[in-house]
Each structure stands twice: as structure tokens, then as C-alpha cells.
Structure 1
């Protein structure tokens, strides 16, 4: 009896192994197909975002787009995408008053994107993102150019923007330093310095007047260039290398971005 069951065991084992191999091949094929479809959609979005950047008379490297989440085709079927990541390297806005502002990397995230399958098939209807956020850094070198005063240095200290510069008063050259107040009004960031200190100078009305006069020259306005996807500046924070701009928008129509 044992001789008759051995072939059956071997046959059953071979069938099981073949079934597992088949499942692996099917899963691999689906994964490859899913990635191909996602790559196509990412390239399409990248092309549309690049077109929007050009229409704003801005420039950047080719947008790097990633549709987060797996599998992609399941998101297509549901018509809901968790997050779409768009990175624009070397984003430079159009000239404002003869100056251009460069953001080394503009990182955009579109979340809770709704794109019904019927809309994608027909090409009509809206594709919307519940929220879109963007962050980018404007380095201190560009900001010191806006100030236009020789010897000024900007840095972050304890979460605040600090300026320091050499000032000559009463025949002495001393370093003055002060903290900045940052105010966002639309696409304009106003920078005003206060609490200025000058070590080594007497504290009298004449010296305070000289220092206050110089401090007024340090004030400047930074106009943030138009950003893609209706992003509006919400917050500005000093970092080690520059000012970090945080922008946001809600209920954004992404149809023009290629979805």
C-alpha cells in the first residue's frame, strides 16, 4: 500500500508548488502592471505641472511626481488617492521689481484627492484635492541682497530670525544685533527688527537714535512668487539655512494638473 501512496504524495506536492509559483507570477505581473500604470500617471501629472509653472513665467527642474500608496489601480477604481507628492527643484518665480526669488526645493503634497473613474474616462468633471500644502526654503544670501546693507548677516537663533551688522557711532565700530518680527500679508512677508543691542556703546538718546536709524534700513519686504496649485503663503519660519515658507490651499481643482 505504501508504494501506491508515494506517487500521490509527490504529485500533490508538485501541484502545491506549481500553485504557489503561479500565485507569485500573477502577483508579480499585477505589481509590474500597477507600477507601469502609476508611472504613466506620474509622468502625465509632471508634464501638466511643468506647463503650469511655465504659464506663471516661472522656471524649475522637471517636476518629480510620486503617487503614494499601493496598489495604484485600487485607488483608481475607488477614485480616491491618499497623497500625491510633487517636488520642484530650483523653482524660480517671475521677476518682481527686477528681482527673482529662488526656492531650492518646493515640496508640494496634495492630500485626499478625489478623481472619480467616470471623470478620468470622459475627461470632463473635476478632480479635487481636499488640501494642498507646500514648503520651500529661501536662503539667507537672497535675503541679505534685499536688505542691501553691507556687512549684514542673518541667522536663526532659538527659533527667531536674528540680524547682526557692524555700525559706526561716536567714532567706534561695534556689532549690533536684533530679532526680527515676521508678518505675512498675502504673498508679502514683512521683516522688521526690534530689541536691537549694541555692545560697547553708551545707552543715551544720541546712540539710541543712531541705532534706530540704522535698524530702519534693515527692514525689508519679501514678495513670494506665485506658486503652483493656488498655494498661498501661510507661515514663515527661520531655519539654519534660510526662511522656510509654508503655503496651503483647500478644495483645489487639480484637473489642470493632469488627473
Structure 2
């Protein structure tokens, strides 16, 4: 009986050592992958990498990881010299084929996501305008609302406003609805689909042109994170995308 107890203790201790070794190995690998992603993608800071699945070492032996989650933290988007935060930039990579040194890896399946709040978005909106939620019906069509004092928007865009026109527009607010789309996975485009009637002929076309020229470029979007869809939610713009055979490191 005493020998059995000793054997059980040895098994538990040995098992604990194996678990500890496995966890040490996964932490080491996560750091190495984070370094590679930062270097290959040109990121300012090291991303947070989490390798899922247990045990880790058996995955390494099989040269395939079940899942790797990468959180880049915050990136920036720029428009007209203004920068805003893009938050919750994340990639979930599955069936990741690796080599023994983690110098290269390819995900069989990948999904990416990011978020841009209306508050942050407003910091880079055309001067004098704000961008916000357009309501559930329009949001379902991928639309947002652009609004602001008409004279402020025109002056912010350096559009001449003669005295008589300014008097006519005094107290009038701009209300326009725009669709939002992604180009190239890193550029947010706005296209006006509906704008309230304005009392000055041709002014609505000028305002529409101003909005349609507005674009936000997300700086240094990692190639690992593929974004091709955008949804307008009550809190902001939610980006997502999926890909196959996506390289994790270069």
C-alpha cells in the first residue's frame, strides 16, 4: 500500500512537471510569435499573442496549432491631418501550420475584427460636422448620419459663404446619410445617399462632394488581419473579415 502511495505521488509530481514545462513552452512560443508578428508587420508595439489548446507540446510535435489569438491593441486612422483610435483590433487564427523555429506560420482559417467609436470618428470628421448612429433601419443598410450647423460645415471646408447666403442658412442644420464601406481592407469610404433639401441651388451637391471626398486610412493594419465588411452599430463602426491560408509571420 505504501509503495502504491509513493507511486501515485511520483505520478502527480511528474505530471505537474510536465504541465509546468508545457506552460513554460507555450509562454516562450507566444513571445517568439509576438516578436515575429511585430517585426514582419511593422507594428509600433508588440501584440498580445495567446496560443490555445492543451497540451501545447503535442501540437508543436504535429507542426499545427489549434488556435492563435492576436490582439494588436489600438491602431490609428487618419483623415485630413487628424488621427483617431481604432480599437479592439484582433485576429483569431485556426489550424496554424508552423515550422520548428516559429519563423513562419500559415493559418488555414482566419477571422479579424476592429472597432471605431462614433466619438473617436467625430474627431476626424469634416470640420463642423459629427458622424453618428443613423437609427436601426438605416444602420441595417450600412448607413451613418452626418450632421452639423450648415454654416460651420461650409466654413470648415473653406467653401465661400457670401453674406446673403449665410443669413439664409443661419440656424439651419445639415443632415445627411451615408453608406460606409472598406477599400483595400484599410481605407474607410463614405458615400452620401440622402441629404436634406437646402435653400440654395447647387449647395447640396457641394456638401455631398465634401462628404464623399472624406476617407479614413487605417495606419499599419497588419496583413494578418483581413477586414472586408463594416457594420454600423449604436456604439460605432464594427469591422470584420475572414480569410484562408493567411500568413502569420514573414
Q: TM-score, normalised by structure 1?
A: 0.73
Partner of 2:49: 65
Q: What is the CA-CA distance between 1:247 and the residue it aligns to?
A: 4.1
Q: What is the CA-CA distance between 1:82 and the residue it aligns to?
A: 1.2
SS at match of 1:173: coil
Unpaired segments ≥5 residues, structure 1: 1-11, 198-202
Pairing partner for 2:9 from 9, 21, 29:
21
Higher helix share: 1
Pairing partner for 2:24 from 14, 29, 36:
36
CA 1:36–1:221 in 2, change beyond 3 Å: closer, same or farther?
same
* 2:105 is the alignment partner of 1:120: no
How many angstroms apart in 2 are the aligned matches of 1:52 and 1:59? Answer: 11
Contact 1:147 1:218 in 2 (8 A): no
Contact 2:224 2:247 in 1 (8 A): no
Pairing partner for 2:128 from 140, 147, 150:
150
Unpaired segments ≥5 residues, structure 2: 152-166
CA 1:206–1:240 in 2, change beyond 3 Å: closer, same or farther?
closer
CA 1:100–1:165 in 2, change beyond 3 Å: closer, same or farther?
closer
CA 1:100–1:131 in 2, change beyond 3 Å: closer, same or farther?
farther
Which shows bigger deviation, 240-249 or 72-81?
240-249
Q: Deviations over 1:45-81 (max 9, x none)?
A: 1111222243xxx423x21111011110111122221
SS at match of 1:82: strand
Q: What is the CA-CA distance between 1:231 and the residue it aligns to?
A: 3.7
SS at match of 1:227: coil
Determine which structure has greater relative contact order: mean sequence separation of CA pairs < 8 Å that are 6+ residues apart, divided by chain length: 2
* 2:107 is the alignment partner of 1:129: yes
Work out which of the two has the higher radius of gyration on C-alpha atoms and give 1 or 2: 1
CA 1:113–1:63 in 2, change beyond 3 Å: closer, same or farther?
same
Partner of 1:183: 181
Q: What is the CA-CA distance between 1:97 and the residue it aligns to?
A: 7.1
Cα RMSD (Å) of the superposition? 3.1
Contact 1:66 1:86 in 2 (8 A): yes
CA 1:75–1:208 in 2, change beyond 3 Å: closer, same or farther?
farther
How many angstroms apart in 2 are the aligned matches of 1:96 and 1:132? Answer: 28
Q: Deviations over 1:198-253 (max 9, x none)?
A: xxxxx7x8467544543432331222334223544311122344322224442123
